[in-house]
Structure formats: structure tokens, C-alpha cells
Structure 1
Amino acid sequence: MTAIKDAWEVLGGRPGLVSRVSAVVRRDVLDARLPVRELARACVGACALAAAELGARRAGLAQVPAVTVDDGAVATAFHSERLIQVDGRAPVAFAPLSRFWRTADGWVRTHANYPHHRARLLAALGLPADASAEQVAGRLAERSALEAEEAVQDAGGLAVALRTPREWRAHPQAAEVAARPLVERAVLDTAPARVLPPVDRAAAPLLPAAGLRVLDLTRVLAGPVATRTLALLGADVLRVDAPWLPELPDLHADTGFGKRSATLDLAAGRDTLEELLSTADVVVTGYRPGALDRFGLAPRALAERHPGLVMAQVSAWGGYGPWAGRRGFDSLVQVATGIAVIEGAADRPGALPAQALDHGTGYLLAAAVLRALTEQSYDGGSRLVRLALTRTAHWLTTGIRPAPAGGAPYPGPDAWLAGTDSPLGRLRHARPSVSFTGGPTTWTRPPVPWGSDPAGWR
């Protein structure tokens, strides 16, 4: 339980509340050389405790409800995007050009799941739009890994050279990441205390975020996991995407539970955006740091116009250091930070058993939002919380100790899968892993087609 205590401490929670958390330990889940099981358990446990704490605050309970973290449920949830099925069809995983490639001196990993990232990768390599994987392999084999990384990144694409843990520690971005807390928290002003309407303590289930409006400006994967969790807990979550950037269908299905989905051109629709912000309680962003500032979404600018907001930001590399403006995904962070070498070798890179940086950071982000809401109810203030996949990677590689082996057997994910009818078709999906006494066990609504809702609150 040490990792849960550490996560809860950095979230600002009262230490004594950790005693309300118990774990069902299972062996053979999220097996890796790094303590992925302990990371996953800690992130989900801290999130569930933050939810239980807010629920107790709103329901006037004398004691925070007990939290149970089951490794089986957590492992299943951490594979949710791999387990989702629509009408029996298995999900599409990584695109053909999203993979490791040999370079003249090592390895590079690319990410080209989205069409615009694929186009930028090919343009950086001087290849036509219909280029084959063999052509990409040929071009990358001619360059060093660092040359390929820089060329693709400069073109707005995604590629990262494989680094050993020592090489990453020597990088200036690593020093910036290590100098910051796992969860950055700030109070931006002296807005009055948030008045949270009470929830009926006899109501079932207890929904800590009931009645709260969450504007979801995130994309795969950590941000949508966070907002999916807030939707589970009762929040009215409206995800807004640019009309020209559709989400990948299977990822949209997996992370869309409990949410509505709208499209909006933030530049042309500034009035609509301001209407949404004027009555929002929480704004969650998952784009590169600073990418949304031109739309008035910088935290301090937001707090000046709409005091009392909780603003939550998640990024790949962090909003600081030489890589602050870079695009990134979980798979690329694993490659840059040496995790791919730890889980494989320098001459044959590996990967974590799940996109644990994404999922873990997503649950921590939701926990940070819930804790900010609880703190606001006492002390007020517009609040900012920030997380980065690289900081979670730093915690995984240097801050978490592996727990002793053992525990109950893991029977596989089936016990934690459910079937739900939806406008997208019949879904097989992971059940929620966030669990506390009296809390919700599923979402109130299934995912809807991308962009099918109006850009407005209910």
C-alpha cells in the first residue's frame, strides 16, 4: 500500500484516510520487470479514495466509504482499449506505421494512428502518401535514430529514438521532469468556496460528482480515461473535438462511456465556447501545453474570466523543458525514458504489458480533480492540476517498490467484462475499476456516435 500512500500524499489528501483502502491482490497481472501492478493499483486506489472523500463531503457522512481495489478489475481496466468489442469485432490496435524501426545506429518508434500524423511522418521522410512500410523502413535505415526523431518532430509528426535509462537521465527534459511533483497543484486566486449541493445519503448509488459540468477537451488516452471516470461518478461530461479531427472509432467507443460528444471549431465558435465555460465546473485539456491558449484557455486567463473553475491538464512530456511543445503518446514516452530498454533490451526493445502510463495518469488526473473540488468546498480558489506521462514514468522507474509476489489467482478479464447495447452497436467492455462502498458500478449511459450531440449543456 506504500504507493497508494505516496499518491494520496502528493494529491494533498489527509494521510489517515488511506486506512479506508484495501486491496485484493492477484498474481500474474500486469507482469513486467517494472512494478506496473503496484502503479496501477495505486492510481486507481487513490482515485477511488478521492471519489469516496468527495462523496462523504456532499452526503454529510461521518466516515469516508471504504475503498476496495481489486487487481483483476484494475488489470482489465488498464487493457480496456484492447478488450473493447463492437458487435463482436475486435478493436483495431496500432496502425501499420506505428511501430519500432531499425535505424542506422539503433531504433526509433513512430506513432501514425491518426491520418494527419501518418501524412507528416511520410512527408518528413520524403515519401508519397501511399508509401509502404517497406519504403518507410528503407528511409529510416539510412538515418540515425536522433536524426529521424528530429526530422519527424520538426514536421509535426511523432517519432522518438530509443534511449537507455542512463541516456534519458542525461537528457535535459529528464531533469525538468524529475524536479517536479507527480501531481502539480496550484491555487490561482481567492474565489469563494464552492457550494456543492448535497446529495442524498440514502440515494443509490452515491455519485460524488453529480450535477457538476466537465468540459472535456482531451484526446487519447489519459485525458479521456480521466473524464470517463468523472462521468462514472455522476458528472455531466461533454467532450468537444474539432470537426476535422475525428477520434479513432474503437478508442471513442472505449472512452466514451457516460459522456456526450460534440464538435466545435474553437476559433469560429468562441461565443459558444464562452457559453460552455460560463457554467462549467471543470475544464480538462489533453493537448500539447499552450496549444489551446489562443482560444482563451490558458489557466490564468480562464480563472480571470470564470473564477472558481477547476482546470486540469495532461500532456506527454510536461509543460516545461525543451520538449514542452512536443507531441507524444504513451508508447513514445516508454521509448524515450528507457522503459522500452528495461522491458526488452537495447538491441530488442520491449514495452509495458499495458499502456500503463496513459491509464495510470488518467486515474491520477481524475483523482486530482476530485480532490480539488473537495478542497474548493472548504477553501475556495480557482484550481489548476497538471500531470505528465513522463512524470508518471519517472515514478514507475524510480519511486515505486515492487510488492511481494503472491495473491489470489487472476482468472483472466472475463469476470470484469460486461455487455451493453449502445447506438454504436452491442459492446463488450471493461467494467469500472474505481470502487467504493455505495458507489456506482457502471455508467448511466453508453457511448454515443462521435460528434452526435450539440455543443451545449443539458
Structure 2
Amino acid sequence: MTEIMYAWSAVGGDPARLARLTTVAREGVLPARLPVRQLARACVGACGLAAAELAARRAGLGEVPGVRVDDGAVAAAFHSERHLRVDGRAPVLFSPLSRFWRTADGWVRTHANYPHHRARLLTALDLPRDAPAEKAAARLAALSALEAEEAVCGAGGLAVALRTPAQWQAHEQAAEVALRPLVEREQLDAAPARVLAPLDPAGAPLLPAAGLRVLDLTRVLAGPVATRTLALLGADVLRVDAPWLPELPDQHADTGFGKRSAVLDLAAGRDTFEDLLSAADVVVSGYRPGALDRFGLSPRELVARRPGLVVAQVSAWGAYGPWGGRRGFDSLVQAATGIAVTEGPAGEPGALPAQALDHGTGYLLAAAVLRALTEQSYEGGSRLVRLALARTAHWLTSGIGPAPAEGTPYPGPEAWLTGTDSPLGRLRHARPAVSFTGGPTDWARPPGPWGSDPARWR
């Protein structure tokens, strides 16, 4: 329970609540050299406790409902994008230019799943937009790993040199990351206490986020996992994207459960955005730090216009240090922080068994939002919570002990997968991992097409 205690403490939870949590351990889940199973269990457990606590607060229960964390459900959820099937078709997860490449002195990891990231990568390599992977490989092989990193990042693309754990620890960004808590939490003002509508304790299911409006400004993957979880718990989640930045279809299908999806130009549609903000309870942002500030969407500007708001932010590297403004994804953070070296065979980079930094940070982000809502109901105040994949990586690599020899054998994911009809087709998908007595067992609605909903609250 040590790792769950740490995660629960990081979101400000009362240690006494941990007595309400039980775990079902299963051997062989999320196998890795690093303690991925413990991290995944802790993040989901903290989220379940935060959900149950808010449910108890709103329903007037004398005791927080029991929370159950099953390693099998957690593993299926952490692989949700891999388990997804759309009319039987497997998802497309990575493009040919998203991979490790040999360089003159080592390796570099690129990410080019989105068309604009692919274009920037090829521009940095002085290649045409239709260049095959072989041409990119030749250009990268002529550069050092750090030269490739700087060239691609300088062009607005995404690349990081493969680093050993020691090399990352010597990096200035690693030092900045290590100084921060796992979850940064701040009260921004003295707004009045939040008045939450009571829930019927006999209602089924018990939805702790019912009636709350979540403005979802997130992309890949931690932020959408967090808002998908808030939607499971009853929130009205409206994801808003720029019309010129479409989401990858399979990714949208996986993380779109329970949500609605709209497109909005924040400059041309400012009045519409302000209408949304004026009725929002939570704003979740997954863009790189500062990217939305030019639109007046910094946390303090948001709460100045909407006192009592909960603002939640997630980024790759954190909102500080020399890499604070860099773009990033789970795979890049694994490469930079030494995880890929630790998990790889001798002389070659590897990867975690799941995008655990994304999923784990997503569940922690949802937990931090739920805890902020609970705290507001007692103390008031607009709240800011911040997480970073690199800080979650720091916890994984330095703050979790070895896995205990426990549990029954893992039978595979089938027991935690289900099927749902949707406007996108027949979906096979992972069941929710967050579970507490009386709580929801599935989302209220399947995902729909990206951008198909109006930009307004229900």
C-alpha cells in the first residue's frame, strides 16, 4: 500500500481513507523492470478514493464507499488504446516516422503521428513531405543524437535523444522536475465554498461528478484519460478542439467515451468560449505550458473571469525549467528520462509495457480534480492542479519499491473487455478501472465522431 499512500497523499487525501481501499493483486500484470504495476495500481486507487470521497460528501453518507482496485482491470485500462477494436479493426497507434532511429553516436526518438508534426520533422531534415522513412533514417544517421534533437525541436517538431538514467539525472530539466511534488496544488483566490447539489444515496449509479461541467482542452493521452474518467463519474464533459487540428480517429474513439466533441476557433469564436467558461466548473488543459496564454487562458485569467473554477493542467516536461515550453509525449519522456534504456535489451532502447506515464498521470489528474472539488465544498477557493509526465517518470524510476511476490496469475484481459455500439461502429473496449461500491460500471454514452457536437452545454 505504500505507493497508493504516496499517490493519495499527493492529491491531498486523508490517510484514514485508505482503510476503505482493497486491492486484487494478479501476477504477470504489466511486466517490466520498473515497478509499472505498482504505479498503475496507485494512480487508479487514488482516483477511486477521490471519487468515493466526493460521492460520500454529496450523498451525505456516514462512510466513504469501499474502493476496489483489481490489477486485471487496471492493466486492461492502461492498454485501452491497444485493446480498442472498431468493427473488428485494430487501431493505428504509431506512424512510420514515430520510432527510434540510429544516429551517428546513439539513438533519437521521434513522434510524428499528427500531420503537422510529421511536416515539421521532415522540414528539419530538409526532406519533402512525401519522403519515405528510409530517407529520414539516412539524414538522422548523419547527425549526433543531440544534433537531431535540437534540429527537430527547433523546427517545432518532436524528438529527444536517448539518455541513460545518469545522463537524465545530470540534465537541468531533471533537477527542476525532482524539486516539484508529484501533484502541484494551489488555491488561487478566496472564492466562496462550492455548493454541490445533493445526491440520492439510493440512486444507481452513484455519480460524484453529476451536474458538473468540464471544459476539456486536452489532447493525447493523459488529459483525455482524465476527462474520460470524469465523464464516467457523471460530469458533462465537452471537449473543444481547433478545427484545423483534428484528432486521430482511433485515439478519439478510445478516449471519447462519455464525452461530447466540438470544434471552436478560440480567436474567431471568443464569445462562444466565454459562454462556455461562464458556466464551467472545471477546465482541463493538456497543451504545452503557455500555449493557451495568448488567448487569455492562463489559470489566473480564467479564475478572474470564473471565480470558483478548478483549473487542471498536464504537460510532458512541467511548466518550468529549460524544457518547460517543449512539446512532448509519453514515448519521448521514456526516451529522455532513461526509462527506455532501463527497459531495453543491451545496446538498444525499449519501452514500458504500456503508455504508463500517460495513463497513470491521467488518473492522478482526475483524482486531483475530484479532491479539489471536495476541498472547495468545505473551504472554497479557486484551485489549480498541475501534473507532468516527467514528474510521474521520476516517481516511477526513483520512488517506488520492488514489487511484492503476491497475487493470483493474470488470466489475460478478456474479462475486462466489453462491446458497445456507437456512431463510429461496433467498439470493443476496456471497461472502467475506477470502481467503488454503488459507483458506475460503464460510461453513459459511447464516443461519437470528432467535432460532431455543438459548442454549448447541455
Whether contact under 8 Å (1:192, 1:381) holds in the other structure is: yes
Amino acid at match of 1:217: L
The residue identity in structure 2 corresponding to 1:393 is: A
Query: Cα offset for 1:277?
Result: 0.3
Instruction: Note the C-alpha offset of 1:406.
Output: 2.9
User: Which letter does structure 1 place at the counterpart of 2:444?
Assistant: T
What amino acid sits opposite 2:250 in the alignment? D
Partner of 1:412: 412
Q: Could you say which residue in structure 2 is the equivalent of 1:432? A: 432
1:384 corresponds to? 384
Give the AA of the match of 1:311.
V
Q: Secondary structure at the match of 1:192?
A: coil
Q: Could you tell me how far 1:295 is from its partner in structure 2?
A: 1.2
Residue 345 of structure 1: how far off its partner (Å)? 4.8
Show the counterpart of 2:160. 160
SS of residue in 1 equivalent to 2:46: helix
Distance 1:171 1:262 in 2: 40
Following TM superposition, the consecutive aligned residue runs of length 4 or more in structure 1 with deviations greater than 3 angstroms are none
C-alpha distance in 2 between matches for 1:113 and 1:137: 17
Whole-Å separation in 2 of the counterparts to 1:288 and 1:10: 22
Matches within 5 A, 1:279-290: 279-290=279-290
Contact 1:106 1:347 in 2 (8 A): no
Q: Which residue of 1 aligns with 2:354?
A: 354
Q: Which amino acid aligns with 2:256?
A: G
1:284 & 1:55 partners in 2: Cα distance? 21
3-state SS, counterpart of residue 109 of structure 1:
strand
Does residue 1:134 correspond to 2:141, yes or no?
no
Report if the CA contact (8 A) 1:330-1:358 is conserved: yes
Shift of 1:346: 6.4
Compared CA separation, residues 180 and 14, structure 1 to 2 (3 A): same
Which residue of structure 2 aligns with residue 112 of structure 1?
112
Name the CA distance, whole Å, in 2 between partners of 1:267 and 1:177. 33
Distance 2:414 2:135 in 1: 41
User: What SS does structure 2 have at the residue aligned with 1:191?
Assistant: coil
State the distance in 1 between where 2:30 and 2:8 align.
Answer: 22
Matched, 1:66 2:66: yes
Q: Aligned residue for 1:365?
A: 365
Amino acid at match of 1:125: L
Q: Once the two structures are superposed, what CA deviation does each residue of 1:196-249 show, in whole Å capped at 9, x if it has no partner?
A: 000100000000000000000000100000000000000000000000111000
Matches within 5 A, 1:327-346: 327-345=327-345
Partner of 2:250: 250
Structure 1 residues 292-307: aligned runs within 5 Å: 292-307=292-307
What are the residue-to-residue correspondences of 1:306-317 with 2, within 5 Å?
Answer: 306-317=306-317
The aligned residue for residue 100 of structure 1 is 100
Q: TM-score of the superposition, structure 1-length normalised? A: 0.99
Distance of 1:304 and 1:240 partners within structure 2? 21
Could you say what secondary structure the match of 2:26 adopts?
Answer: coil
Residues in 2 aligned to 1:353 and 1:319: alpha-carbon distance in whole angstroms: 27
The amino acid that maps onto 1:387 is L
Give the aligned partner of residue 31 of structure 1: 31
Partner of 1:5: 5
Cα deviation, residue 296, structure 1: 1.4
Partner-residue secondary structure (3-state), 1:384: strand
| Alpha-carbon distance in structure 2 between the residues aligned to 1:345 and 1:120 | 31
Asked whether 1:396 is paired with 2:360, we answer: no
> How many percent of aligned residue pairs carry the same amino acid?
81
Structure 2 counterpart of 1:182: 182
The superposition leaves residues 242-277 of structure 1 with CA deviations (integer Å, 9 ceiling, x where unpaired) of: 001110000000000000000000111111110000
Judge conservation of contact 1:21–1:49 (CA < 8 Å) in 2.
yes
- 2:221 paired residue number: 221
Q: How far 1:305 sits from its partner (Å)?
A: 1.1
Letter in 1 for 2:60: G
What amino acid is the match of 1:264? L
The letter of the residue matching 2:64 is V
Instruction: Please tell me whether the aligned partners of residues 164 and 346 of structure 1 are also in contact (alpha carbons under 8 angstroms).
Output: no
- Partner of 1:206: helix, strand, or coil? coil
Distance 1:346 1:156 in 2: 32
SS at match of 1:6: helix
Equivalent pairs counted in the alignment come to: 458
On the 8 A contact 1:97/1:113 being kept in 2, the answer is yes
Give the SS at the match of 1:261: strand
1:27 Cα offset (Å): 0.4
Amino acid at match of 1:157: G
State the partner residue of 2:230.
230
**Partners of 1:333 and 1:369 in 2: CA distance:** 24
The alpha carbon displacement at 1:404 in A equals: 1.1
Summarize the Cα distance change of 1:384–1:346 in structure 2 as closer, same or farther, 3 Å threshold: farther
Deviation of 1:409 (Å): 1.4
Residue by residue over 1:428-454, the C-alpha shift from the partner in whole angstroms, topping out at 9 and shown as x without a partner, is 000000000000000000001000000
Tell me the amino acid that sits aligned with residue 56 of structure 1. Answer: A
Query: Per-residue CA shift, 1:78-104, capped at 9, x if unaligned?
Result: 000011000000001210000000000
AA paired with 2:2? Answer: T
Q: SS where residue 421 of structure 1 aligns?
A: strand
The separation in 1 between residues aligned to 2:99 and 2:13, in whole angstroms, is 40
- CA shift at 1:405, angstroms? 2.1
Partner Cα separation in structure 1 for residue 25 and residue 403 of structure 2? 10
Which secondary structure state, in structure 1, belongs to the residue aligned with residue 89 of structure 2?
A: coil
Contact 1:241-1:262 at 8 Å conserved across structures: yes
**CA distance in structure 1 between the partners assigned to 2:432 and 2:408 by the alignment:** 20
Gaps of 5+ in 2: none
Partner of 1:171: 171
Which residue identity lines up with residue 362 of structure 2 in the other structure?
G
SS of 1:244's equivalent in the other structure is coil
Partner of 1:49: 49
How far 1:287 moved relative to its partner? 0.2
More displaced stretch, 355-364 vs 5-14:
5-14
Q: 1:177 is aligned with what amino acid?
A: V
Structure 2: how far apart are the matches of 1:263 and 1:229? 21
Shift of 1:344: 1.1
The alpha-carbon deviation at position 403 of structure 1 amounts to 2.3
- CA distance in 1 between counterparts of 2:66 and 2:406 reads 24
RMSD (CA atoms)? 0.6
Distance 2:282 2:145 in 1: 40
SS in 1 for 2:437: coil
For structure 1, which runs of at least 5 residues remain unmatched after alignment? none
The Cα offsets for residues 99-120 of structure 1, whole Å up to 9 and x where unpaired, read as: 0000000000000000000000
Pairwise CA distance, 1:303: 1.1
Tell me the distance in 1 between the aligned counterparts of 2:85 and 2:20: 35
Q: Partners in 2 of 1:445 and 1:300 — Cα distance?
A: 33
The separation in 1 between residues aligned to 2:289 and 2:207, in whole angstroms, is 31
